[in-house]
Amino acid sequence: MQLNLLDILQYQRGHGSVSEASFINHYLLPMINELGYHGVMDGQGNIWVEVASKEKAPFLFCAHIDTCHKGDVNIHPVTTPDGVIHLSRAEKAAGCLGADDGVGIYTNLRLIEAGIKGTYLFTRGEECGGIGAEYIAKQTPDKLEGFLMCIEVDRAGTDEVIVSQAYGDCASVEFGEQLSEMLGMGHSPSTAGVYTDNAEFGDIIPESVNIAAGYENQHTAKETVNTVYVEALIKKLIAIDWNTLRVVRERGDYGDWMDYYGGNTMYDYPAGDYEKLLEYVEMHPSRVANYLDAIGVDMYEIEKEWMSGDLEVGRR
């Protein structure tokens, strides 16, 4: 079975869905086996693949399995002549393409295929607040001990290496600069990250970055991915000698929600601080949904308020 990004994107992979289970059981695990390795599932369903022990290769390559898809049936994305994949008009109801983070899954598998030494992690529930990554960091932190760097390919666009996300710096700017130079594709370190899995690892792994994955308009039916960029990026990642990257940041200074919001509790920030609230919703959608459900606010009430025009236009 040859590796192909389109084969991954045909699966709708909403967290906990039938089709996500189908992807894991009928594509991901069999592909890992076919590449000559064995995937080990932990207590939260995260899948670990060891190509070389972390004592020999202290590099963790991470990608999340789940998406924001809305259904369970397979879809058939379309590729344009210039290599851009998008949903067909007939399948817009799927809600998104799933390149976030299908590109990361594909990248991990290609690096495994190339025999790049390290450990590979496929997490669960990133789109639901980092369920799998949080489980690892809090329940089994020993699995992360000893890694010097974590590489994730889960950022929109084509030119950023994220070194700061959520509520702190997860990598040094110097590390981001080194990696950007090695890639040689016009990337530069950025502190404008929001959240992906390795934000959870900031206190344990010294250098954790999130590299631009080549997708745009993620979480929407307009999502696209530039496969020319993706293939070029993978070739560069395969060519890098990861041992030559210099680790600068010291682990353990990542910060927490109290520091991030500038108060004694995570709720102690000025009312009306929309941008910080939006970041929190993007990072923890399941928590927000649970809270709204607990206070009796449903989707119909939200839509009613939205359509009434009472909400400020700048916040839509």
pLDDT number for residue 280: 75
pTM, two decimal places: 0.83
Please say whether the beta carbons of 34 and 69 come within 8 A.
Answer: no
Domain segments of the chain as ranges: 5-244, 261-315
Strand partners, 122: 47, 63
Pick from 64, 58, 63: nearest CA to 145: 58
Can you list the pairs that 139-144 forms with residues at least 24 positions away whose Cβ atoms lie under 8 Å? Answer: 139/43, 139/44, 140/42, 140/43, 141/204, 143/42, 143/48, 144/60, 144/201, 144/204, 144/205
* 70 three-class SS: coil
Strand partners, 211: 153, 161
Cα–chain center distance at 316: 25
pLDDT per residue of the chain (316 residues) written in tens, 0 to 9: 799 999 999 999 999 999 999 999 999 999 999 999 999 999 999 999 999 999 999 999 999 999 999 999 999 999 999 999 999 999 999 999 999 999 999 999 999 999 999 999 999 999 999 999 999 999 999 999 999 999 999 999 999 999 999 778 999 999 999 999 999 999 999 999 999 999 999 999 999 999 999 999 999 999 999 999 999 999 999 999 999 999 999 987 776 544 444 444 343 444 456 777 787 787 778 667 766 765 667 777 777 766 776 555 443 3
Cis peptide before 101 (omega within 30 of 0): yes
DSSP 295: T
* 23 three-class SS: helix
What are the φ/ψ torsions at residue 50 (nearest 5 degrees)? Answer: -105, 115
Instruction: Give 223-268 as a DSSP string.
Output: -EEEHHHHHHHHHHHHH--GGGSPP-PPTT----HHHHHTSSSTT-
Q: Which CATH class is domain 5-244?
A: alpha beta
pLDDT number for residue 284: 73
